[in-house]
Amino acid sequence: MAELQLADIIKPENKVYGKSKIMTDTPLHYCYGCSHGVVHKLIAEVIEELDIQEETVGVAPVGCSVMMYNYIDIDWMEAAHGRAPAVATGYKRVNPKKYVFSYQGDGDLAAIGTAETMHAVNRGENIVMIFINNATYGMTGGQMAPTTMVGQVTSTSPYGRNVDINGYPLRITELLAMLPGAAYVTRQSVHTPANVRKCKKAIRKAFENSAKNIGTSFIEVVSTCNSGWKIDPVAANQWMEENMFPFYPLGDLKDGERDSFEQFSVQKLKK
Ligand SMILES: Cc1ncc(C[n+]2csc(CCOP(=O)(O)OP(=O)(O)O)c2C)c(N)n1
Ligand code: SF4
């Protein structure tokens, strides 16, 4: 029997996985093991599967994923640090048929942009918000973020985060789930194949919600920043599981639609 050659295996009919057509050929600039590239891939796959490439607009952040617009072939806007939900709101309101999503790190969404984040969700904007929580400011050198864990060493907390000085880590996703404008709030990760699949389902649901006009869909992805944390990618995944998941538990926090306030409206109360 003839020996099996590589050319016998690499054939279109044997293909089990391929990069989404919506991902460009630009090489990703992320560190090895970084979660950003995995989440980009999932967003591209969802847009391709829903066949909404022409109708989707992304709002790129400031942070390591600032050049996200180079990787996914859709229309993009670039927002100043913290302002992505406000920019997404404006675009969605004048183009209500578009699928609009924002993408931000924790420094962007939960520090400088806290106000924009809270108010966009409280208004129930029909946008998708994707939040990469890697417990640090990755791009600028691994400084402490609001989401940094107690005791976590960063370049600005060399002795570990101290609650007396730095306050508590911020569970912004729990706060957002309490807001009436939130339709879908979930916390995911992409550190194992099973978690990647779950995260993709969540992203798909969020985009589908956007077409139903039921309020804001918010996805936190608990992530690693091995360069900022100064450990290798495998150790970073383990550190995240051991230290972040107990405080940032994975799963859905709200799955429905924005709250009805009809019973409390002035007209109703007058009757
Ligand atoms: C208004 C403003 N303030 C500060 C900065 C500097 N800056 C650039 S990226 C960044 C932090 C990014 O961290 P994060 O949002 O968590 O994203 P990551 O890099 O971790 O993905 C900061 C503070 C800026 N570009 N603009
Ligand atoms: S610094 Fe951190 S967040 Fe930025 S690309 Fe590297 S691993 Fe990813």
- Mean pLDDT in residue range 202-215: 97
Task: Provide the pLDDT confidence category of residue 271 given band limits of 50, 70 and 90.
Answer: low
Q: Is residue 229 part of a domain?
A: yes
Quick: pLDDT tens for 112-140: 999 999 999 999 999 999 999 999 999 99
Sign of the Cα torsion 140, 145, 151, 156 reads: positive
Give the CA dihedral 185, 187, 190, 192, nearest 10 degrees.
-130
* Ligand 1 nearest atom to the CA of residue 134, by list position: 20
Check pocket membership of 64 for ligand 1, CB cut-off 6 A.
yes
Distance, in Å, from the CA atom of 143 to the CA atom of 107, rounded to the nearest integer, reads: 9
Total residues belonging to the chain: 271
Looking at ligand 1, which residue's alpha carbon is closest to its atom 8? 63
CB of 126 closer than 8 Å to CB of 214: yes
Q: Is residue 189 part of a domain?
A: yes
Q: Is residue 45 part of a domain?
A: yes
Check pocket membership of 218 for ligand 1, CB cut-off 6 A.
no
Q: Is residue 113 part of a domain?
A: yes
Quick: pLDDT tens for 164-189: 999 999 999 999 999 999 999 999 99
- Mean pLDDT in residue range 96-106: 98
- Ligand nearest the Cα of residue 36 is 2
Phi, psi of 160 (to 5 degrees): 95, 150
Host domain of residue 54: 23-137+146-153+164-270
Q: Is residue 237 part of a domain?
A: yes
Q: Is residue 10 part of a domain?
A: no
Task: Provide the pLDDT confidence category of residue 267 given band limits of 50, 70 and 90.
Answer: confident
Q: Extract the tokens encoding 151.
A: 């005791």
Angle (deg, nearest 10), helices 35-50 and 193-212: 50
Q: Is residue 94 part of a domain?
A: yes
CATH of the domain at 207: 3.40.50.970
Check pocket membership of 125 for ligand 1, CB cut-off 6 A.
no
Whether the predicted pLDDT of 269 surpasses 80: no
The pLDDT of residue 225? 97
Task: Provide the pLDDT confidence category of residue 10 given band limits of 50, 70 and 90.
Answer: confident
Whole-number Å distance, alpha carbon 151 to ligand 2 midpoint, is 21
Whole-number Å distance, alpha carbon 11 to ligand 2 midpoint, is 35
Distance, in Å, from the CA atom of 127 to the CA atom of 139, rounded to the nearest integer, reads: 25
Task: Provide the pLDDT confidence category of residue 264 given band limits of 50, 70 and 90.
Answer: confident
Looking at ligand 2, which residue's alpha carbon is closest to its atom 6? 31
Quick: pLDDT tens for 30-51: 999 999 999 999 999 999 999 9
- Mean pLDDT in residue range 129-157: 98
pTM recorded for the entire structure? 0.95
The total number of structural domains in the chain stands at 1
CB of 184 closer than 8 Å to CB of 217: yes
Q: Is residue 159 part of a domain?
A: no
Ranges of beta strands (E only) in the chain are: 56-60, 75-78, 99-105, 128-133, 182-189, 216-222, 251-255
Check pocket membership of 65 for ligand 1, CB cut-off 6 A.
yes
For a pLDDT cut of 70, what percent of the chain falls above it? 99
Whole-number Å distance, alpha carbon 223 to ligand 2 midpoint, is 10
